[in-house]
Structure 1
């Protein structure tokens, strides 16, 4: 036994020795061969990088100079400059104005202008002025036409700057010289931006005379030299030889270190693998077999305990296995052999004919596009009846991409499917009932608004007459009662649209502050009547413009505020507007009758008030608060209330709106307006209702406009051809031809005639329909006199402007 172990140990030691020798041999070869190739590649890379750096540096300096040469040339061609060097006395003052505040590429540079003798013209020489020595050379070169421009380098305060000189010509003769020193940007600063380290050096040489160099060139070797365009100045680009050698040595050291580490790692990994292979593989095999057995036992247990049936289809052999549970679901029990031949035909034999196409499509998509196989279908069971099943599975594909095996589960979902179908039927019936309800409410709205037009229109006309105080009070009461009735109709329509999800939100730039102020103004009359204070508190940090639906927001505020005024007998109603964490917040606080804690739970129920006695004492339908809450929720916000009986209530609304800097869209101002004067305006009214015709005449008559009335759309089209009115008011529902069709026909031939829809159909889908037909505005019935006067005033102004 001991001899066997010694022999085994000797073989292991020998193996490790071979590995060590192999490591040393491979390490020596890699160090010599790879290092040599790496140094060669590094040298080429360094040369290439250095040349690119040199070219880039030259291109940037060349571009830097060219941009300024162009501007200097343009300045030298200026008539003022030309006249000045030629001695025109009048041009001297103009030259000073031209150059005193002149900037070159946004910077103030030193600009000098001399005549052909070298006498300084600009700036005016001082008493102690002496001409720099290098100026003589510049004058000589330019006057003698030796160079189109002269580039030199000057030094000031230990900094170097480019100086550019060019001739000022007249009739192609040199009359003077314009020069500027680029003192806003030193050469040192320019090169620091272009060359990020001290590996490189740059020098400027003019005919073997070094004008400038960034460093002593003892340790540098020349890389490239470039002649600056249109000059005799040459740029020399150098590279540090010591730095170059240092980089090579560092690179060689890194390569050697890396090779050493990787070779050692490879040796260690190989040693680890050999050590692992010497461990008894039978132990791992035993563990693997035990896990496999446990997995198979779990699988069998899962199949037996599952309520789903299991199927396994060997496509290559066309062999189908069905689990006992699956056979039981189909009513066959154990009487049928679990393995059935012709599996591909068996499935289609029992499937319902109406589901066959769906099943084939699902299988094709699964095999072709790997779409999950999961669909419902009907299948015939043993007693001949059809039941609903859900099949799920996955295919195994061969090397050619074709399916070779498929397995999955089958679930009986008949009861669940029947419940789902019943629910769909109920939902469809509910949807139909909801549509019928909406249509009924829309029709009722139209039928109520049409006669209300006569009532409210008559009252508004009477209000503008010279009446006694008691008569005015009666008229105001009539108008108020009519508007309350309209408000009830609108609340019912709004609640219907919200509950049927037939309402959409707009996102428009809205001046929130002006919106709240307009509501305060609108409701201040109600507060004054009850002798209570209506207070508006605006926090300082409130942003002005927000993206929201202004109509819906106005409705929320109006409902809460009018509700507070209604239930406040004395004291005040305070509305406060603020913003918190980029959300809009407003509170409506009153000193009214308050609400008990037990009544708060039904506060937002529709057609219901907290206490039934409040309906008798204060009136109302109980829809205002439910609509406000539902609109708030629809806008993603929250409404809360705190209240105490005989003390008052506070409603708080938080809306997650977005701020904007865009301005609000223009809207019609609804303030009381004076009767406009429209003597030269021809107005056509298309309306079949005689009462509405008389009301319109009574409202519009005082404007002195010429009014023509027709009874339907056909008459309107004929009248437009004869009269060509300046403005058309058109009812929608008329005999023979409705207003929508008439508007489309008129707009095709007379697109510039504005047409206003007068309609009792004011639901959003109706307004969209009218706008698409070509109507310029839509006014709901009953007609608001102020709105009509605003539109007449607007189009009278347009008419008069066009006449001019």
Structure 2
């Protein structure tokens, strides 16, 4: 049988992955592990390459679900009788489409592998499926000449480490190789008189019988992972049982040819990996909960620190004391930046940070960055300017909030590390990309420092942390956000000669604009006051927060009532509804003992309170408003409370067009 050779390409892995970058990484991984691979760019090319010969197909879930014409399904259905091409589907972390993908198990040799990939397990699956595919080609050659070369077939089968069997069209055994006979402890004659399910673990028998019936009824390949009893040890070991239907010249199933491959160690490894993944998921959930709680526990007292510092500034005339209060507020704001960085990194790692693209005016957006960072530049004594290099698109489709976060971080870093000179934000259009260059004349970096720049919690060296502070998270977050926005960040730097950080984003279709107006100075915004004769209810379990909010609101012209928790607020409003004296608006903390804000908002709505409810939350892990809105709130404010922002939001909801 040494002249039996697999067809050309029978061990080739075809790849149809989300991006060219994914395909490049996978090909390199396969090359390192001795796998032959070929990159396909679309479904048509994939199907064509399968006909040329393939050992397995690796396809991303989103590419498979885009197959509206059913090309892959039709290709698999039209395979030769001997062929059962392994298809490995790389699923997304979400379980939304698992039910749809699970249907493939009934009609194809499909293995689902979750992303992000566990490399060792992924390579093990590929190796196993290629081995299985090689046996299919061997089986093909054997089956085609079975009548003429029966003796050679039995010799080959008896030399195989797998259990090998042949059965008639109804599944009655016609042949067992030596391995099967020895493992099961029966001769062929004895096996013919027994039910084959007697050798299978009772917990696996029903599933195996159901799949076997479907295979007989549908004439499709039988495949099932079952535990089979070894009579020599009286113990069960996991096997992959497979049987291929063999058709006669009229197209009717004449017999079945099958194998049982010992996969016990692989199965145990998978179970261990699965348990490890479950533990990791539990640890990740615990981490997310801890970060959310940490956010609340830090943001709530920071509300008091910054708020009371602001109140003191309004009453203080002594320049030295005003300087001290300014330092308190600046360092409080710095601490909040660190908290936000940690929360953002946690959300990115947990896959909970969402990108919400929208179209916005590019020039206006850039000038807002200039206005925002000009204050920080003035404090640092560094010149900061914005330049437009040539025509740029009028609009850009991206997530402005996250893009602003990236650019503010890059400009802020440049200002922090520039003692003398200037920082420039240069916007240009190159090819089909909008390019943002942040150029500084600061301390610069060595090649070694640049290579480690985008790692979390890492700065150039320990002296940088001592001299300039920071956690080293900002650039790591900016790098990941840039990728999520469909762009990339690169850096060119020289120690002692400054740095240039470059952010590139796809521009998309948009008219070009040559004349870019300069930034406008709107001057100081006037202090916000509330509508006259408005009554507000502040609900918070922290006395200092209630007092702070009350001072701000009463100073803006409101009459203020207080409640210490959700239950007390519900009781108060219920009594006021009876006399039509309910508050015009409720400021409601969401994390309180006795009854939290979510329950309180729902109760207030159920009893008929229809006026605005604004949530006060320190839970930045849930910043998408969904939970607040679904409980009955109209809007939400994150702690620490920003006075002007709070007063403007209240005015909006008390306006004639609002809900009050």
- What are the Cα deviations for residues 527-585 of structure 1, in whole angstroms up to 9, with x where unaligned? 11222111212345333433323322222222212111111111111122234443333
Alignment coverage as a number of residue pairs: 501
Distance (Å, rounded) in 1 between the aligned partners of 2:251 and 2:524: 76
Would you say the 8 A contact 2:184–2:199 is kept in 1?
no
Secondary structure in structure 1 of the residue aligned to 2:445: coil
Residue in 2 that maps onto 1:28? none
Distance (Å, rounded) in 1 between the aligned partners of 2:170 and 2:535: 87
Residue in 1 that maps onto 2:428? 578
Distance (Å, rounded) in 2 between the aligned partners of 1:750 and 1:576: 55
Would you say the 8 A contact 1:682–1:707 is kept in 2?
yes
Q: Indicate yes or no: 2:636 matched with 1:786.
A: no
Would you say the 8 A contact 1:309–1:323 is kept in 2?
yes
Distance (Å, rounded) in 1 between the aligned partners of 2:299 and 2:358: 29
TM-score by length of structure 2 reads 0.70
Distance (Å, rounded) in 1 between the aligned partners of 2:506 and 2:241: 45
Change (3 A) 1:404 1:771: same
Residue in 2 that maps onto 1:798? 656
Aligned partner (choices 732, 741, 744) of residue 602 of structure 2: 744
Distance (Å, rounded) in 2 between the aligned partners of 1:726 and 1:552: 35
Residue in 1 that maps onto 2:178? 324
Aligned partner (choices 621, 636, 646) of residue 763 of structure 1: 621
Q: Indicate yes or no: 2:168 matched with 1:314.
A: yes
- What are the Cα deviations for residues 207-238 of structure 1, in whole angstroms up to 9, with x where unaligned? xxxxxxxxxxxxxxxxxxxxxxxxxxxxxxxx
Q: Indicate yes or no: 2:233 matched with 1:378.
A: no
Change (3 A) 1:488 1:302: farther
The alpha carbon displacement at 1:338 in A equals: 4.4
Change (3 A) 1:320 1:717: same
Secondary structure in structure 2 of the residue aligned to 1:599: helix
Change (3 A) 1:366 1:331: closer
Would you say the 8 A contact 2:390–2:429 is kept in 1?
no
Q: Indicate yes or no: 2:216 matched with 1:362.
A: no
TM-score by length of structure 1 reads 0.58
Distance (Å, rounded) in 2 between the aligned partners of 1:358 and 1:738: 48
Distance (Å, rounded) in 1 between the aligned partners of 2:244 and 2:145: 24
Q: Indicate yes or no: 2:535 matched with 1:679.
A: no
Distance (Å, rounded) in 2 between the aligned partners of 1:709 and 1:748: 21
Residue in 1 that maps onto 2:309? 459
Distance (Å, rounded) in 1 between the aligned partners of 2:626 and 2:659: 29
Distance (Å, rounded) in 1 between the aligned partners of 2:327 and 2:173: 89
Question: Which aligned pairs between 1:164-313 and structure 2 lie closer than 5 A?
Answer: 303=157, 306-313=160-167
Question: Which aligned pairs between 1:316-355 and structure 2 lie closer than 5 A?
Answer: 318-327=172-181, 330=183, 336-338=186-188, 340-342=190-192, 345-355=194-204
Distance (Å, rounded) in 2 between the aligned partners of 1:546 and 1:615: 36
Question: Which aligned pairs between 1:624-773 and structure 2 lie closer than 5 A?
Answer: 624-656=474-506, 658=508, 673-721=526-574, 722=576, 723-750=581-608, 752-764=610-622, 767-773=625-631
Distance (Å, rounded) in 2 between the aligned partners of 1:352 and 1:693: 65
Residue in 2 that maps onto 1:431? 281
- What are the Cα deviations for residues 284-322 of structure 1, in whole angstroms up to 9, with x where unaligned? xxxxxx999998798667646654332111145833312
Structure 1 unaligned residues grouped into runs of 5+: 1-289, 662-668
Change (3 A) 1:401 1:467: farther
Change (3 A) 1:541 1:691: same
Distance (Å, rounded) in 1 between the aligned partners of 2:281 and 2:488: 28
Distance (Å, rounded) in 1 between the aligned partners of 2:332 and 2:171: 84
Distance (Å, rounded) in 1 between the aligned partners of 2:285 and 2:393: 41
Change (3 A) 1:449 1:656: same
Secondary structure in structure 2 of the residue aligned to 1:598: helix
Instruction: Give the structure with higher Rg (CA).
Output: 1
- Choose 547-556 or 463-472, whichever is displaced more: 463-472
Distance (Å, rounded) in 1 between the aligned partners of 2:153 and 2:429: 61
Aligned partner (choices 261, 283, 287) of residue 411 of structure 1: 261
Change (3 A) 1:327 1:498: farther
Change (3 A) 1:367 1:734: same
Would you say the 8 A contact 1:393–1:409 is kept in 2?
yes
Distance (Å, rounded) in 1 between the aligned partners of 2:176 and 2:554: 89
The alpha carbon displacement at 1:360 in A equals: 1.5
Distance (Å, rounded) in 2 between the aligned partners of 1:644 and 1:757: 48
Q: Indicate yes or no: 2:349 matched with 1:499.
A: yes
The alpha carbon displacement at 1:495 in A equals: 1.1
Distance (Å, rounded) in 1 between the aligned partners of 2:659 and 2:474: 46
- What are the Cα deviations for residues 357-391 of structure 1, in whole angstroms up to 9, with x where unaligned? 21112112223345542221111112211101011
The alpha carbon displacement at 1:595 in A equals: 0.7
Distance (Å, rounded) in 1 between the aligned partners of 2:184 and 2:145: 36
Residue in 1 that maps onto 2:634? 776
Distance (Å, rounded) in 1 between the aligned partners of 2:494 and 2:258: 64
Question: Which aligned pairs between 1:44-59 and structure 2 lie closer than 5 A?
Answer: none
Distance (Å, rounded) in 2 between the aligned partners of 1:681 and 1:434: 45
Residue in 1 that maps onto 2:333? 483
The alpha carbon displacement at 1:419 in A equals: 0.8
Question: Which aligned pairs between 1:129-144 and structure 2 lie closer than 5 A?
Answer: none
Distance (Å, rounded) in 1 between the aligned partners of 2:438 and 2:156: 63
Secondary structure in structure 2 of the residue aligned to 1:725: coil
Structure 2 unaligned residues grouped into runs of 5+: 1-143, 512-521
Distance (Å, rounded) in 1 between the aligned partners of 2:631 and 2:652: 22
Distance (Å, rounded) in 2 between the aligned partners of 1:798 and 1:405: 81
The alpha carbon displacement at 1:397 in A equals: 6.6
Distance (Å, rounded) in 2 between the aligned partners of 1:467 and 1:505: 45
Q: Indicate yes or no: 2:410 matched with 1:560.
A: yes
- What are the Cα deviations for residues 425-469 of structure 1, in whole angstroms up to 9, with x where unaligned? 111111111111111111111111111111011122333446344
Structure with greater contact order relative to length (CA < 8 Å, sep ≥ 6)? 2
Residue in 1 that maps onto 2:270? 420
